[in-house]
Structure formats: structure tokens, C-alpha cells
Amino acid sequence: MPHDKTSLPDIPPPPGTTFVPDIPYARHDRQKIDLYLPDTRARGVVAYIHGGSWLKLDRKIVRARYLLERGYAIASLGYRLSQHAPFPAQIQDVNAALALLARIAPDYGLDMERLALLGLSAGGHLAALAALARTNNDFMSSDNPRIRAVVDYYGPSNLITLCAGADSMLDRPVTRLLGASVFDAPVKAFRASPVAYCTSDSPPFLLIHGDSDTVVPITESYNLQAQLVAAGGTAQMIHVPGGGHASPNMHTPEIHRQIADFIDLHLAD
């Protein structure tokens, strides 16, 4: 059956991929999942979380063809944006979507024992929070699956340091996300920051960041890496010389190969 054009991804997946759009996990139109199932038996699941400063873009924007070609199922997670609801609605939505995936896994042949998260920019922030803030009952669903690995593409890790500079490009989006500036609500801002939750139980992280990123400074990823390692976790860093925020040199075949190899390693039997 042909899909409505509004349900289709912006870039067609590889031939043989089964596309299952618009699976609802709650009532808002943003609270839906798109599934991409490879033509081979899925070895694991990569939950993909889009960026957009928490206020734009959607789950139809997926850059993960290379993971489908490795045999992974892709679940692109929609979530409410900051104009729909303030934080923590976004992380609550991500966790609710993951909980639904675990419940419907048998219907689609998903191996949720092999689950990785991949997020870009604001999606990287949410992926990191979903993986790290596992004991925060305000964020979590009761039946969230275990996360085996996280790929964090130029995501903010500390909303306070992100907004500290006079030239911060995300000060207004963060204020909109939190419902207050980080200076008026520092406790809420830190509570919304992945660096607040690093422990020795944290899953392995792969951080990818360019040193010419003027939206999210590369120090956000280096600081998260330092906090993870100091807490007893593991975090690898791909430092891209001259890489900007979502610039083409951040998404090369070589970087995609390193991402796929990292996921292969941590989702292996």
C-alpha cells in the first residue's frame, strides 16, 4: 500500500528496506516512531533521534542508510518540541518511545537486547540523557530497555556552559526549552544536562564533533568525555578538523564506517 507523502522519509532507504511509518506511542502527532527494517534479519536496533535545537525538524530526517546496510533496524523517534511542551517532555518522549519499541519488538523481529542510540545535536543531547539519567524517575518509563551504546553527534552536554558565552547561538532555544534562562534556573539547567549523570555504569559513548562548530562548541563533547572517563565509563572521540555543525565533512563515508564499527563492537553477540 502506498504511503501518504507526509509519512515518507526525506531520503529513500536502500532497496529491500521495509518502511513502517507513524507508529504512535502517545497522542500528540509528534509522538510517533518510524521503523526501517533491513532485508536481512536485524542484528540489533539503532534508535535515531533528530536534532533541530529542540524546536524544529522531525523524525523523517534520517541519515543512517549505512547502518541499514550493516543489517540494523532503524527506529526514528519523534518527540514534542519546545513549543509544544517544556523540558522534561522531550526526554520523557524519547524514553516512552523506547519502552514502546521494547513492547512491539516481537511483532517486527527487533532484537532489543542489542539497542544503540544515535542522536544529532539536540538529538545527541537527548540520546545522552536517555542513556545516562537512568535513575531519574521524572525522565524514565517503567520498562525501558537497556542501552548498549551511544553515538552522540555534536550534542550539548552542559546547558549552563553552552549558554555562558555572550555569543552563544543556543541561548534562546535553551531558554525556550527550559521555560527560563539557565541563569534564572541553574538547577533545572544542570538537571537537563548529560554531564550530571555520568557513572561507572554508563554505556560506551562515541562522540563526534568538529572544531569549527560555532553552534555547539567542541568543548561540550570533550567535557562529556572527561566526565564519563572520570566516573569509570568509556568514551571515544572523533575530532573532525574544520568540522562545522552538521557540515558535510561531519558525515563522510569514513566517519560512517567508524560509527558502524563502534555499534558492531558493542552490539555483538
Strands across the sheet containing 235-240: 18-24, 32-37, 73-77, 45-49, 115-120, 149-153, 205-210, 235-240
| Per-residue confidence (pLDDT) for residue 1, from 0 to 100 | 39
Low-confidence spans in the chain with pLDDT less than 50: 1-2
Q: How far apart are CA 183 and CA 121, in angstroms?
A: 22
Q: What is the pLDDT of residue 3?
A: 54
> What pLDDT does residue 165 have?
77
Helices and strands (H and E) in the chain: how many: 8, 8
Query: Do residues 90 and 123 lie in contact, with contact meaning Cβ atoms separated by under 8 Å?
Result: no
- Bridge partners of 207, per DSSP, are 152, 237
Q: C-alpha angle with apex 184: 180 to 186, nearest 5 degrees?
A: 95
Instruction: State the pLDDT at residue 83.
Output: 97
**Helical (H) or strand (E) element with 266:** helix 253-266
* pLDDT for residue 75: 98
Span 231-254, pLDDT tens digits: 999 999 999 999 999 999 999 999
On the CB side of 192, how many CA atoms lie within 13 Å of its CA?
Answer: 28
The residue segments making up the domain with residue 97 are: 5-266
3-state secondary structure of 53: coil
Domain count, the chain: 1
Assign residue 151 the CATH number of its domain.
3.40.50.1820
Q: What is the pLDDT of residues 103-154, one digit of tens each?
A: 999 999 999 999 999 999 999 999 999 999 998 989 977 778 999 999 999 9
Instruction: Compute the distance between CA of residue 243 and CA of residue 247 in angstroms, rounded to an integer.
Output: 6
Considering only CA atoms, which of 57, 8, 69, 48 is closest in space to residue 152?
48
